[in-house]
């Protein structure tokens, strides 16, 4: 005899209420649901090497503020706002208010160390995504890097499914040209015979972009 697992509840209200009451396991459940979202939002804005520490900081900030959340069903958008504010605070603390995210793609120190061909391709793709306007950058990173679906992005961030779909589509259109130009640079290398020489991250991205 086999049983069908119960579907995961779509709302977060029970977890938020339990976490407010001091249930650490409930807050751990919220962390498990939203860590990818927080990571992706931060990755769209701050140096990659600092993202993991900032993810922890966002949740540490959120925990004592749960009592301020008026609508417990809106935990995701509320947490997303805290995450974006934390990214803004990062620049106030480390580089001043004048630092803006448009400089991210040009600052190679903000990208992970690229020791292999695969790492270099991944860093290239991340830099290209981060060169896009913020409206497109965040959903693309949540989709392509964090592996979240369009409906999941909408549910977690509080955006409408239509706006997520449009931003992914328009962002991908802008990214295609950038990626194609970068791919041409690879194919023009003496040891290259064409797009098949792209490392796995670029190949996977080329396939995934057609799934959006």
Quick count: other Cβ atoms within 10 Å of Cβ 72?
A: 17
pLDDT of residue 156: 94
Residues 6+ apart with CB under 8 A from 117: 199
pTM of the prediction? 0.74
Q: How far apart are CA 212 and CA 143, in angstroms?
A: 9
- SS3 category, 80: helix
**Contact assessment for residue 19 and residue 63, using Cβ atoms and an 8 Å cutoff:** yes
Q: Which two tokens stand for residue 178?
A: 């950038």
Place of tokens 């970068």: 182
| Percent composition of the chain: helix, strand, coil (DSSP 3-state, to 5) | 75, 0, 25
pLDDT by residue, tens only, the chain of 212 residues: 444 443 344 468 999 999 999 999 999 999 999 999 999 999 999 998 999 999 999 999 999 999 999 999 999 999 999 999 999 999 887 665 444 445 554 444 455 555 566 667 777 888 889 889 989 999 999 999 999 999 999 999 999 999 999 999 999 999 988 888 766 554 455 444 333 444 444 445 444 444 55
Provide the terminal-to-terminal Cα distance of the chain, rounded to the nearest Å.
38
Nearest to 94 by CA among 130, 48, 46: 46
pLDDT of residue 114: 52
pLDDT of residue 122: 74
- SS3 category, 95: coil
**Contact assessment for residue 58 and residue 83, using Cβ atoms and an 8 Å cutoff:** yes
> Domains along the chain?
11-99 (1.10.1740.10), 102-212 (1.10.10.10)
Residues 6+ apart with CB under 8 A from 212: 143, 150, 168, 169, 172
**Contact assessment for residue 86 and residue 80, using Cβ atoms and an 8 Å cutoff:** no
Phi, psi of 145 (to 5 degrees): -95, -45
pLDDT of residue 57: 97
pLDDT of residue 112: 53
pLDDT of residue 198: 40
Q: Which two tokens stand for residue 132?
A: 């896009």
pLDDT of residue 104: 53
pLDDT of residue 91: 85
């Amino acid at each position: 005899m086999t049983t069908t697992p119960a579907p995961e509840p779509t709302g977060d209200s029970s977890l938020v209420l339990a976490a407010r009451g001091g249930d650490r396991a409930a807050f751990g459940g919220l962390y498990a649901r939203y860590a990818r979202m927080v990571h992706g939002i931060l990755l769209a804005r701050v140096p990659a090497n600092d993202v993991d520490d900032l993810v922890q900081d966002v949740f540490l900030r959120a925990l004592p503020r749960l009592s301020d959340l008026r609508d417990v069903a809106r935990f995701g958008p509320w947490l997303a706002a805290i995450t974006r504010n934390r990214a803004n605070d990062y620049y106030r603390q480390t580089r001043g208010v004048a630092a803006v995210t448009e400089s991210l793609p040009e600052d190679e120190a903000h990208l992970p160390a690229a020791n292999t061909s695969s790492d270099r391709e991944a860093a290239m793709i991340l830099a290209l995504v981060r060169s896009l306007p913020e409206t497109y950058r965040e959903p693309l990173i949540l989709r392509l890097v964090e592996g979240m679906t369009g409906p999941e992005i909408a549910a977690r961030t509080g955006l409408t499914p239509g706006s997520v779909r449009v931003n992914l589509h328009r962002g991908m259109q802008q990214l295609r040209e950038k990626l194609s130009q970068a791919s041409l640079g690879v194919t023009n290398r003496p040891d290259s015979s064409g797009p098949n020489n792209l490392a796995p991250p670029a190949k996977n991205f080329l396939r995934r972009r057609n799934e959006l």
